[in-house]
Amino acid sequence: MPRATASANVLTGFGALMRSLGADPAQLLRRARIPLSALSDPQARLPVTAVARLLEDAAQRFGCPDLGLRLSQARRLSHFGAVGKLARDEPDVRHALQAISAWMYLHSEVSLDLQESEGSVALCAYHGDAVAASSPQVIDLVAGGIFQIMRHLCGPQWHPQAVCLAHAAPADARSYRRYFGCPVAFDADGSALFIAPEDLALPLAEADPIFRSESERQLQAWAGLKARPVEARVRELIGVMLPSGRCTMANVALRLGLQERTLRRHLDAAGLSFASELEAARRELARRYVERSDKSIGAIAGLLGFSETSAFSRWFRKGFGCGPKAWRISPSPNRPR
pTM (2 d.p.): 0.71
Indicate if 236 and 169 belong to the same structural domain: no
pLDDT greater than 90 at residue 299: no
151, 278: one domain: no
Which residue, 144, 147, 143, is CA-closest to 160? 147
Number of domains in the chain: 2
Helix (H), strand (E) at residue 36: none
Burial code (b: 16+ CB inside 10 Å, e: under 16) for 250-288 equals: ebbbbbbbbeeeebbebbeeeebebeebbeebbeebbbe
Question: What b/e sequence results for 94-125 when a residue is b if at least 16 CB atoms lie within 10 Å of its CB, and e otherwise?
Answer: bbbbbbbbebbebbbbbebebeeeeeebbbbb
- 132 occurs within a structural domain: yes
Listed residue (84, 98, 43) closest to 211, CA to CA = 84
Residue 333's pLDDT is 44
Q: Specify if 144 maps to a domain.
A: yes
Would residue 217 count as lying in a domain?
no
Same domain, 173 and 259: no
The verdict on 162 and 249 lying in the same domain is no
- Mean pLDDT estimate for the chain: 87
More confident residue, 181 or 302: 181
Does residue 71 share a domain with residue 186? Answer: yes
Pair (81, 187) in one structural domain: yes
How sure is the predictor about 225, in pLDDT bands with cuts at 50, 70 and 90? low
274 located within any domain: yes
Domain boundary among the residues 184, 201, 218 is at 201
Let me know if residue 266 belongs to a domain: yes
What is the identity of the amino acid at 120? S
> Does 33 fall in a domain?
no
Q: Can you give the residue range of the structural domain that contains 116? A: 65-201
The pLDDT value given to residue 196: 94
